[in-house]
Amino acid sequence: MKKYLALYKPFLLFLGTFFLTYALLAFLYQLFLDGFEKGKVDSITRLVAQNTETVLSWFHKSVFIKEDSKEPFFTLYYQQKGLVRIVEGCNGVSLIILFISFIAAFSGSLKNTLLFIFGGSLLIYVLNVVRIAILIILIYYFPGKTHLLHGVLFPLVIYGLVFILWIVWVNKFSKYAK
């Protein structure tokens, strides 16, 4: 048994660090969400909705968000038409937690790890806002393609970015990069 533990130590350390980091960050995020009144939108989702509204307003002035009075979501209106609901799952935090957990599990120097986590998280956040904005425009012009756009194409884009960031991290900055 000791032989196998020694043989698979790097893999077991990776798994342990990944799951511990993921569990801790998910727990902290849930505590954050629990701090909001039932039926109210959390501040991160609010920021994502506001930023999406701002990005869309650069291209068209007839854009606004409206918070639902009973449920925790925003409806985003584009060209006077309520097109999408922005809910907690749209804010990208769960994906950022996944990203951070992987980077921590394949950590490099403390400075590089923290900088990559910060830069990667910011990039994921910005791309997520732009992704939602583009999705809204495409849904407006192609309402029959909503499932393809929201359920297939755009998750592919955001998860693809995270995968590319992971590859860059492992090959350039992690302690395994050599």
Task: Profile the chain (178 residues) by mean pLDDT over runs of 10 residues.
Answer: 76 90 97 90 95 92 88 91 90 96 89 94 96 93 90 89 92 76
For residue 76, the cross-strand partners are 65, 84
- Determine the pLDDT at residue 59: 84
Whole-model pTM: value is: 0.90
Nearest-5° angle of CA 72, CA 131, CA 24?
Answer: 60
Question: 43 by DSSP, 3-state: which?
Answer: helix
Neighbours of 36 (CB within 10 A): 15
pLDDT (tens digit per residue) in 46-61: 999 999 999 999 988 8
pLDDT (tens digit per residue) in 57-78: 998 888 999 998 888 999 999 9
Question: 92 by DSSP, 3-state: which?
Answer: coil
Domain borders along the chain are: 2-37+90-173
Question: 175 by DSSP, 3-state: which?
Answer: coil
